[in-house]
Amino acid sequence: MAILPIVIAPDKRLKRRSKAVETVDDEIRTLLSDMLETMYDDDGLGLAAIQVGVPQRVVVIDVHEKDEPKAPLKLVNPEIIWLSSERVIYEEGCLSFPNIFADVDRAAEVNVRYLDENGEAREIMAQGTLAICLQHEVDHLNGKVLVDYLSLVKRNIILRKLSKARRVQASDE
Ligand code: ZN
């Protein structure tokens, strides 16, 4: 397993639509394991492959509580097949937007169809943090990120802040 470098916004790769995986093979299984390790290392709840620069529809999620055992979910080609009409607003973060949090309005419950790491078709009904996380990660596969839910003004402030942080970091190195 390996920790992969995370793509930090603003980066045009994050706007890209990821391609469906044709075969769940060892390469995909390695990617899933590396993505999980990368996500745990950075204390994230979810990670989409494009966030490590791979434009494929591959996602990992783990929303276990701190004092509970790990509960990794590996999803290939996840597809939201049902959304509840009930909505919730949740303050979200993203590993590609360090230190940025934004209130996002989403469906409270979702049903997601996906392939597991053996290529078996599965479905998951989710609510709470898991439902939010699934919608956030599927958004990444479609080139959508959390700041896209904000007003243009707020979005530009955040993107400028991130660009500036990157310049400061680059000049420190
Ligand atoms: Zn994210």
Report phi then psi at 135, rounded to 5: -65, -40
Q: What is the mean pLDDT of residues 137-156?
A: 95
What value does the CA radius of gyration of the chain take, rounded to a whole number of Å?
16
For residue 66, count CB atoms less than 10 angstroms from its CB and return exposed for 0-12, middle for 13-18, buried for 19 or more. exposed
Q: What is the mean pLDDT of the chain?
A: 96
* Category of 128 on φ-ψ map: left (φ > 0), alpha (ψ -120 to 50) or beta: left
Q: What is the mean pLDDT of residues 73-80?
A: 98
Residue 115 in contact with residue 76, Cβ under 8 Å? yes
Statement: residue 133 has pLDDT above 70: yes
Query: Could you tell me the distance, in angstroms and rounded to a whole number, from the CA of residue 53 to the centre of ligand 1?
Result: 13
Query: Could you tell me the distance, in angstroms and rounded to a whole number, from the CA of residue 98 to the centre of ligand 1?
Result: 10
Statement: residue 27 has pLDDT above 70: yes
Query: Could you tell me the distance, in angstroms and rounded to a whole number, from the CA of residue 113 to the centre of ligand 1?
Result: 20
Residue 58 in contact with residue 49, Cβ under 8 Å? yes
Question: What was the pLDDT predicted at 113?
Answer: 98
Residue 102 in contact with residue 91, Cβ under 8 Å? yes
Residue in 68, 120, 123, 137 annotated catalytic = 137
Distance of CA 41 to the CA centre of its chain: 15
pLDDT digits (tens, 9 = 90+) for 61-72: 999 988 999 999
Confidence of residue 171 (pLDDT cuts 50, 70, 90): confident
Question: What was the pLDDT predicted at 166?
Answer: 87
Statement: residue 147 has pLDDT above 90: yes
Statement: residue 173 has pLDDT above 90: no
Q: Is the pTM above the cut of 0.85?
A: yes
Structure tokens at 141: 């596969």
Q: How far apart are CA 58 and CA 97, in angstroms?
A: 19
* Known catalytic residue at 137: yes
Q: What is the mean pLDDT of residues 45-49?
A: 98
Count of Cβ atoms closer than 10 Å to residue 169 Cβ? 10
Query: Could you tell me the distance, in angstroms and rounded to a whole number, from the CA of residue 48 to the centre of ligand 1?
Result: 7
Query: Could you tell me the distance, in angstroms and rounded to a whole number, from the CA of residue 172 to the centre of ligand 1?
Result: 26
Q: What is the mean pLDDT of residues 32-47?
A: 97
